[in-house]
Structure 1
C-alpha cells in the first residue's frame, strides 16, 4: 500500500503534505531498497523548501534483524537538506518514540548516527531497521540493540541516513548537514509534538562517530537555532587518510576500499584519478560494493590490496594533488563546537588507531572545544561501543539536564565498565537486549 503523495510547498520549514495518519492501517508495510522505493524520490520543486522541511512521511515497523518486530512508534521523514557545496538534496531520517509514549514538547531529542560504513543502500538505517529488510551484515541492524536501550530513556530519536541518497561514505561536512536537517525535520514533525527549543544531543560510533563529528562541527554555523547540548563521539576515525594506509591489504581492507568508492561519488577529480590509474579488475571490485553490506564486503575482500590494480605505486596515487587535498578535507577536528564533547576510544583498537583519535581531540582543544576524552585499555573496536554505551548515555543525560560539565581532561581507564554505574548500565543493556530478542515476532 502506497501512502506517499508529492508535497505542496509554501517555503516554510516544517511545511509538509504527505504526513500519514497515526492509525495502524497507515503503517507502510512494503519494504523495498531505497533505490526502488518511491518514498525516497525527491518531489518536484523540493529545492524551494527551507532546510529541514519535511517533504514526505510515513509510519513504519521497526524489527531487529528485519524479523523481530519491536514495540516502538516509528516514522520516516523525507526532508530538504544540502550537499557540501550547498546544492539542494533530500535526506531521510527514521524517528522513534518509546512504545505508548505520549508526545509532548518537553521531550529531548537524541540524533543517533549509525555506523553505515558501506555504500550499499541496504545498509541505510531507514532500510536496514525496517521489518522485512534483507540487510544481513548491515551494522545498523546490530546497533538497533543500543538504539532501543537509548530509547528506554524516554527520549525521541532521529536516525538519519547521513551518507545521503547515493552512499557518500567518507565525505566531509555533508553528513553533518544531513544530520542537522534531520533534527530540524524531527522537531517540526507534528506527530512528535516536540518543541523547537527542545534539548538535542548527538551520538555515534565509528563511522557514525565520524558523522557525529561533522554534525558537531557544523552545528553552530549551519543550524544555530538548534539547542544542541552535547555530542558523544565513539571511536570517530580521527584521520581517514591514516586509516586508509593502515587498513589496505589487511583483514579489514574492505573498509578503506568502500571509502574510496564513497569518495568517488563525492569528488569528480578523485573519480578521474582512480579511472586513470586503476585497472578494470579493480574498478569492477569498486563497483561490486554497491551490492554488499559491510560484513559481506569485509568477508569477501580479506587482505585485498588496491595497489595490485594500480599502474603506479599506491603511495604515488595518494600523493597526487587531488588526493592530498581530499585527505585534508575529510580529516575532522577543524572547528570547535560551542557545546561540550565526549570522546571514547579503545587504546588497542585494530581498526581506528588511538593516535588518530588523540590527534582529533587535540585539534578540537586547540580550536577551543571542551572535550572529555576517555581511553579504554581493555576494549577493542567492536566491544567498546556496548561497554561504553551506559556511561555515554549517562553523560548525554547530564547534558540534557544541564548538570555541570566534567573537566576538560584525558583519562585512560582499564575499562569503562569498571564502576558501580558501569556494571548497572551493562545489566540494563542486557535486559534491554533480552526484551528486543523477545519482541513482537512477525
Structure 2
C-alpha cells in the first residue's frame, strides 16, 4: 500500500472568496458548460469553499420536470495527490422553500452510482431538465433523493468523481463528498457545521464513494457532525470484481473502472500501454464517452484478456498493480460513527464475500457496523427494497437513538422487515407525486420521519 498523502491544512490563512451567482443557463454536458470551469484564483481558497452557484430545474429521466427547489454549487476540493480540484454538487430542498430555509433539517449526502467517466453520467448533468443522459444510473436514483426530501432531509448529490471522472480512485470520492457537504452547509448558511446532523448514503459505486467519505471524515473534515452512514453493496474489493466480471454480461463495469484509474494513476496508464494491445487501448478510450448502460450493452461478454499480452491473473499480480489495487480497496480506516451495510447474498455484480471482507476490515479496525444480508434480492432490486430501512436507520441516528449491535444478520428478504413494509406506501406516494409533477414538500419541518 502506498504511503498516505499529506493532509491539506484548513486554517484561517485561506483566502476569502466572493461567490459568483449565475443564472441557470442552457443544459449542456459538463465539458462544454462554463459553469464547471473554475474561475481565476480559486486554488488558494479552503476545501469546501463555494465558488459559484446557480438555480437549476431537475427532471425524472430528463423529461418529467420536478417541482422542487434545487441549486448547483461549484466548490473547491482536492485530489489524491493533494492538488486543488473543483467539482459540483446538486442541492435539493422542498418546493417553494427558498435558499437558506434548511434550518432544523438534517443533511443527507447521497452518492449516486456514477460508474462511468463521461460527464454525461455526472448527476449534476443527468438530473437536469432536458439533459440527454440516456443510460445513466443517477437518473434512476433521483426518485430516492426526492423521497428523502419528502421525509424531512435536505439532500446534496455530489459529482464525487470530481470534474475529471476519476472513477475507482481511492480517498478522492471521500474528499469530494465531504467538501460538497461543507459547501452545502455554507450555502444554506448553517451557523456552524456542528449544528447540522449529516448522514452519508450510497449504493454500489455510490456505496464505494460513501465508504471513502466515511473513512475520510476524521482526517479531512473533522468539524462535520456525521451521525451515520449506509453503505449499500459497496464493492468491497475492486480487484476481485475486475477478475470476476471479465467476460460476463457486466464486463463493462470493470473496464470503466480501468478507464477511470488511467486518469488517476500515471503509472497505471504506463502499465496498460506496456501490456495491453492497441485494440485494447482503443476499447478503453471508447468507453470514456459512454454512459454506464451504453457501455454494458456494447461490451456485453467482453474478455479483456483478448487484448493483453499477459493473462489477467498475471497482470493483476504485478507488484505495481498489486500496490494500486491494495490502495483502492476500502475498509482500512474505522469511522468514529456507526454504519449500516446492506448486501444481497446472490448479487450478480458485487460478490457477498468481497463485502464480507470490507465489513470485517472495518470491525477489526474498531468500527461499529451493522451488516444486513438479503438472501432473496440481487444487485438491482436490493437498492429500492432497502430504501425505507436505510432512511429509517439514518433518521434514528439523527434522533440520537443508539445503533443496534455490530452483528451480521442474514434475512430471507429485506422487504419483509417491519420498517421496510411500513415505508413502501410512502415511496409509492413519492413516485406518484413525481410522475404527476406535484410539488415535492417535506412531511415534517424539523426532523426526518423514523417510521
TM-score class, shorter: over 0.9
Matches within 5 A, 1:286-435: 286-435=284-433
> Aligned with 1:417: secondary structure?
helix
2:95 corresponds to 1:99: yes
**1:196 aligns to what?**
193
> Aligned with 2:280: secondary structure?
helix
Q: Which runs of 5+ in 2 are unaligned?
A: 1-11, 440-451
Q: Take 2:158 and 2:15, find their aligned partners in 1: how far apart are those partners?
A: 18
**2:44 aligns to what?**
48
What whole-Å deviation, never above 9, does each CA across 1:11-68 have from its counterpart, x for those lacking one?
Answer: 6588442135xxxxx4x14100000000000111111001100011100001000011
What whole-Å deviation, never above 9, does each CA across 1:180-217 have from its counterpart, x for those lacking one?
Answer: 00000000014x65752200000000000000000000
**1:144 aligns to what?**
142
**2:272 aligns to what?**
274
What whole-Å deviation, never above 9, does each CA across 1:227-275 have from its counterpart, x for those lacking one?
Answer: 0000000000000000001001100000000111000110001101101
Q: Take 1:14 and 1:196, find their aligned partners in 2: how far apart are those partners?
A: 18
Does the C-alpha gap of structure 1 residues 13 and 214 become closer, same or farther in structure 2, counting only changes over 3 Å? farther
2:90 corresponds to 1:88: no
Q: Take 1:387 and 1:314, find their aligned partners in 2: how far apart are those partners?
A: 35
Does the C-alpha gap of structure 1 residues 64 and 422 become closer, same or farther in structure 2, counting only changes over 3 Å? same
The structural deviation recorded for 1:315 is 1.8
Does the C-alpha gap of structure 1 residues 346 and 40 become closer, same or farther in structure 2, counting only changes over 3 Å? same
Matches within 5 A, 1:28-43: 28-43=24-39
Higher relative contact order (CA 8 A, sep 6+): 2
**1:19 aligns to what?**
21
Q: Take 2:16 and 2:137, find their aligned partners in 1: how far apart are those partners?
A: 30
> Aligned with 1:291: secondary structure?
coil
Aligned-residue RMSD, C-alpha: 1.6
Q: TM-score, normalised by structure 1?
A: 0.93
> Aligned with 2:193: secondary structure?
coil
Matches within 5 A, 1:89-168: 89-101=85-97, 103-168=101-166
Runs ≥4 in structure 1, deviation > 3 angstroms? 10-16, 192-195
**Alignment check: 8 A CA contact 1:14 1:52 kept:** no
Does the C-alpha gap of structure 1 residues 14 and 292 become closer, same or farther in structure 2, counting only changes over 3 Å? farther
Q: Take 1:14 and 1:322, find their aligned partners in 2: how far apart are those partners?
A: 41
Q: Take 2:147 and 2:376, find their aligned partners in 1: how far apart are those partners?
A: 23
Q: Take 2:219 and 2:381, find their aligned partners in 1: how far apart are those partners?
A: 34
**Alignment check: 8 A CA contact 1:345 1:374 kept:** yes
> Aligned with 2:74: secondary structure?
strand
Q: Take 1:159 and 1:233, find their aligned partners in 2: how far apart are those partners?
A: 15
**Alignment check: 8 A CA contact 2:169 2:328 kept:** yes
